[in-house]
């Protein structure tokens, strides 16, 4: 993405204020989101924040419009396999139809490796898997 777009499109964690920025309407472009009140939304955001990095919802905000234009979630699954390891799952990725084709979904997909990085034990493997992350431009 160009520098101008990097300033315009801000990648961050979901916030309670995102209810008024069209978060639920955006999810409606993915599937039936249902009727969620502002109170329900706020309670759910607080609950997810209490889970810490085990459930992380990222959003991309168009700061010029004050709208959420993309979102995706990373769920950390605690396994018995791999020496009681952890696995990250990417869920509920959606990009607003008006800005599709600008690699915003790809930008969201980078959240999973970043959230999983602290759990990776082999530094050589970590470096190999994440080399693309530090050299990619968006």
Q: Long-range contacts of range 83-90, CB-CB < 8 Å, 24 or more positions apart?
A: 85/119, 86/116, 86/119, 88/112, 88/113, 88/115, 88/116
- The pTM of the full predicted model, rounded to 2 decimals, is 0.77
**Domain edges within the chain:** 3-135
pLDDT at 50: 93
Lowest mean pLDDT among 40-54, 55-69, 81-95: 81-95
Q: What is the CATH number of domain 3-135?
A: 3.40.630.30
pLDDT at 135: 35
**pLDDT at residue 71 greater than cutoff 70:** yes
pLDDT at 54: 86
């Amino acid at each position: 993405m160009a520098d101008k777009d990097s300033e315009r499109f801000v990648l961050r964690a979901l916030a309670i204020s995102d209810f008024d920025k069209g978060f639920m309407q955006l999810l409606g472009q993915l599937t039936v989101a249902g009727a969620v009140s502002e109170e329900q939304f706020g309670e759910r955001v607080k609950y997810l924040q209490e889970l810490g990095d085990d459930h992380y919802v990222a959003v991309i905000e168009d700061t010029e419009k004050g709208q959420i234009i993309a979102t995706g979630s990373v769920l950390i699954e605690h396994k018995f396999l791999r020496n009681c390891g952890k696995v990250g799952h990417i869920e509920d990725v959606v990009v607003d139809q008006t800005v599709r084709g600008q690699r915003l979904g790809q930008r969201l997909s980078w959240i999973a490796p970043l959230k999983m990085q602290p759990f990776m034990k082999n530094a050589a493997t970590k470096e190999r898997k994440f080399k693309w992350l530090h050299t990619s431009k968006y």
